[in-house]
Amino acid sequence: MPADAGLLVRFWGTRGSLPKAADSAMLQDKLQAALRQAAGRRFDDDDAIERFIRDELPFPVSHTFGGNSPCVQIAAGDDEELICDMGSGARELGNRILAERGSPRTYHILMSHVHWDHIMGFPFFVPAFIPGNTIHIYGCHPGLEEAFRRQHGPPSFPVPFDALGADIRFHVMPAGETLDIAGFRVRSHLQLHGGDSYGYRIERGGKSVIYSTDSEHKHEDEAALADVAAFFRDADLVIFDAMYSLADTASVKEDWGHSSNIMGVELCHRARARHLCMFHHEPVNDDATLYRLLQETRRYEEISRRDHPLHVTSAYDGLEIRL
């Protein structure tokens, strides 16, 4: 990226709670839908096929939201970057960085919390095995280092943490304070979740990204909602835990520590944020369901909008957003 290119946000894992692999039934549904839409068509060459797939098939037929658990990369034009969470998507991220830039490198990782779906990719993050690399892991939980070490211990994993070749350093951050990390201004925010989680406001070069996953927001708690809206204020991008429907968060899954698409819109409207990206997808939802939820959320944003439009997207593995 050129030095004046702003920020590039790459999504390597977007599922919540556990990874989800595509199964045969899902693939067959996609093939049937594509063949139905292609019925009677003639394709003279591969370019015609590619155009049909790219321009005419709907997203849930031609693509997938993916199945890795949370991992998001935020890169700046001077090659500095932050990584948010170490879910299973961290494996592909590490492999890509090594293929493109090699070692030695310094990595800066922000942890929302240390539930397993957010740390499970670290034992497969190849840069951690390579001498000469330095990895800084930041979080607000006092047990940050213990959680990473325990998943490397027997019987969970065959490589003990102390055998990793990289220089790995843990930093417990004071909650609510603003720190300078690799040229980014980073402020943490306590969130309602089992065992607590922390959102991050990440700023650089006049751009701001909110990374807010694993957080529950209750309609009746006006003071808490106002506090969150202030944290989101005027953000260019809000990466938001929209795991459940509004009905779920108010009934069967109340107090499960996650939020909804509707709450994401309402908070971003309050905050006058520019872009809501729904994240931490429910693993039982297939691509068609997630796409339908995106369309419904966009309709809700339109009818509830006041004087400030909000762009709404849904994260998928491989998505890139430039700010």
pLDDT in tens, 235-254: 999 999 999 877 777 677 77
Please, what is the end-to-end C-alpha distance for the chain in angstroms? 12
- Quick: pLDDT tens for 32-82: 999 999 998 999 999 999 999 999 999 899 999 999 999 999 999 777 899
Confidence of residue 5 (pLDDT cuts 50, 70, 90): low
Q: Which H or E run contains 263?
A: helix 261-271
d(CA 262, CA 250): 12
Answer yes or no: are the C-beta atoms of 210 and 235 closer than 8 Å: yes
Handedness of CA 38, 44, 45, 51 (dihedral sign): negative
Among 168, 263, 285, smallest CA distance to 212 is for 263
Reported as a single tens digit per residue, the pLDDT across 84-129 is 999 999 999 999 999 998 889 999 999 999 999 999 999 999 999 9
In the predicted structure, residue 2 carries a pLDDT above the cut 90: no
Distances (CA, A) of 15 to 12, 194, 205: 10, 18, 29
**Residue 4's pLDDT is what?**
56
Do residues 62 and 54 touch, judged by C-beta distance below 8 A? yes
- Between the CA of residue 253 and those of 97, 246, 247, 248, 259, what are the distances in Å? 38, 10, 9, 5, 10
> Which option is the CATH number for 7-19+47-322: 3.40.50.150, 3.30.70.270, 2.30.40.10, 3.60.15.10?
3.60.15.10
Length of the chain counted residue by residue: 323
- pLDDT for the residue numbered 1: 47
pLDDT in the model for residue 25:
87
* Secondary structure of residue 271 in the 3-state scheme: helix
In the prediction, which pLDDT does 168 show?
98
Single pTM value for the model: 0.93
**Cα-only R_g, the chain:** 20
Answer yes or no: are the C-beta atoms of 293 and 314 closer than 8 Å.
yes
